[in-house]
Amino acid sequence: MRLTSYRRVACVRFGVGERPALSVPRELPAVGLRWCEGSQANAKPRRQPPAAEARRSKGFGIPLVFLSLWKGVAGCCAKTTTAPLDRVKILLQAHNHHYKHLGVFSTLCAVPKKEGYLGLYKGNGAMMIRIFPYGAIQFMAFDQYKKVIKKHLGISGHVHRLMAGSMAGITAVICTYPLDMVRVRLAFQVKGEHKYMGIIHAFKMIYTKEGGFSGFYRGLMPTVVGMAPYAGFSFFTFGTLKSIGLAQAPNLLGRPSLDNPDVLVLKTHINLLCGGIAGAIAQTISYPLDVTRRRMQLGAVLPDSEKCLTMVQTLKYVYQQHGIRRGLYRGLSLNYIRCIPSQAVAFTTYELMKQFLRLN
């Protein structure tokens, strides 16, 4: 037996019929020992089997449609938990005459008494139909816009997250706006005063009574204007908090990703916290435009509809009639209760799905 030493690597060669020694001489470096048979000292490392390489490939080769469906689940889970709060918020924003003199918690108690507990879920069916494609489109578009902006504009970091988030939000809103219109109309109705009998009936009534297809896009302008800062700042804030947390306190806030131990991700409870903070900041910035949107969407069923034809007219009217706190920011405290768990669940589910589908 003879010893051949390379830089930081030692190979032990055996002649024909020799048996390997049971101990390694002290002269051999302890790092990088490699047993070599015959003259194959420079044998190439074994290649991983195709199945292992396939598992390491991004997303197991999962089709984009399947991935978007999983991302839609994130939005569905978030909205299902806050459906009663959504219904109360719509009633307060548009000053429904049955509840306009009540506060947030008084309305939460009054709705079950007047309409039963299922009254808290009016419009929930349309919301579920809408939020599934909305969540899927938003998260999928966010990933695609990030790549396009970085590749073609050369923008990266916080700015490209803000831009991609805004564009993704606008795309999702435009694609699903008719469903949002129907949801709001159904949620604003009170027991005994039903104008729409269901989702399909609401679609038919809006189409025939309010100018055809354009009737479904009433209030789109404040929605788009408000969605840009809302979606932009929510993704921007979450991404920034995530980056800062992993950079400043990786051991305290982070853990190895389930699909790739080399990648550090936030712990689940930290994900929930960052998602909630992102949602709260974004809601505060864009809330007056959300009130404007609701008033315009409900214009056909409100007595003062002629004063809420455009975004500027509606903003002025709400401010003049109700002021800032009870007008432009009416129901904001409820929105904090609603958006914090909603955004927390959405971002956390999204991050977990990325690990489950091996996208890290």
pLDDT at 68: 61
How crowded is residue 191: how many other Cβ atoms within 10 Å of its Cβ? 13
pLDDT at residue 66, rounded to an integer: 65
Distance CA 255, CA 252 (A): 8
pLDDT (0 to 100) of residue 252 = 86
**What pLDDT does residue 203 have?**
93
Q: Which residue, among 187, 180, 191, has the nearest Cα to 293 in the 3D structure? A: 180
Amino acid at 232: G
β-sheet with 9-13: strand ranges across? 2-6, 9-13, 33-35
The CA-atom distances, in angstroms, between 143 and each of 235, 239, 250 are 11, 13, 24
pTM of the model: 0.62
- List the end-to-end C-alpha distance of the chain, in Å, as a whole number: 47
Specify the pLDDT at position 186: 92
Residue 293 identity (one-letter amino acid): R
> Domain 63-353 maps to which CATH number in 1.10.10.60, 1.10.4080.10, 3.40.50.300, 1.50.40.10?
1.50.40.10
Do 349 and 70 touch, CB atoms closer than 8 A? Answer: no
What are the structural domain ranges in the chain?
A: 1-43, 63-353
Q: For 79-83, which contacts have Cβ atoms below 8 Å and span 24 or more sequence positions?
A: 79/127, 79/128, 79/131, 79/342, 80/128, 81/341, 81/342, 81/345, 82/338, 82/339, 82/341, 82/342, 83/120, 83/121, 83/124, 83/127
- The closest of 221, 223, 195 to 209, measured between CA atoms, is 195
pLDDT tens per residue, the chain (360 residues)? 444 444 444 444 444 444 444 444 444 444 443 333 444 444 444 444 444 444 444 444 455 566 666 666 766 776 777 788 888 889 988 888 888 888 888 888 899 998 888 888 888 888 888 877 777 788 788 888 988 888 888 877 777 777 888 888 888 889 999 999 999 999 998 887 888 888 999 999 999 988 888 889 988 998 888 777 787 788 888 888 988 988 888 888 888 877 777 778 888 888 888 888 988 888 888 899 989 988 888 877 887 777 777 899 989 999 998 888 888 998 888 888 877 777 888 888 878 877 777 766
**Nearest Cα to Cα of residue 169 among 76, 235, 94:** 235
SS3 of the chain: CEEEEECCEEEEECCCCCCCCCCCCCCCCCCCEEECCCCCCCCCCCCCCHHHHHHHCHHHHCCHHHHHHHHHHHHHHHHHHCHHHHHHHHHHHCCCCCCCCCCHHHHHHHHHHHHCHHHHHCCHHHHHHHHHHHHHHHHHHHHHHHHHHHHHHCCCCHHHHHHHHHHHHHHHHHHHHHHHHHHHHHHHCCCCCCCCCCHHHHHHHHHHHCCHHHHHHCCHHHHHHHHHHHHHHHHHHHHHHHHHHHHHCHHHHEEECCCCCCCEEECHHHHHHHHHHHHHHHHHHHHHHHHHHHHHHCHHHCCCHHHCCCHHHHHHHHHHHHCHHHHHCCCHHHHHHHHHHHHHHHHHHHHHHHHHCCCC
* Residue 49 burial (10 A CB sphere; 0-12, 13-18, 19+): exposed
CA 154 from centroid of its chain's CA atoms: 25
CB atoms within 10 A of CB 319: 13
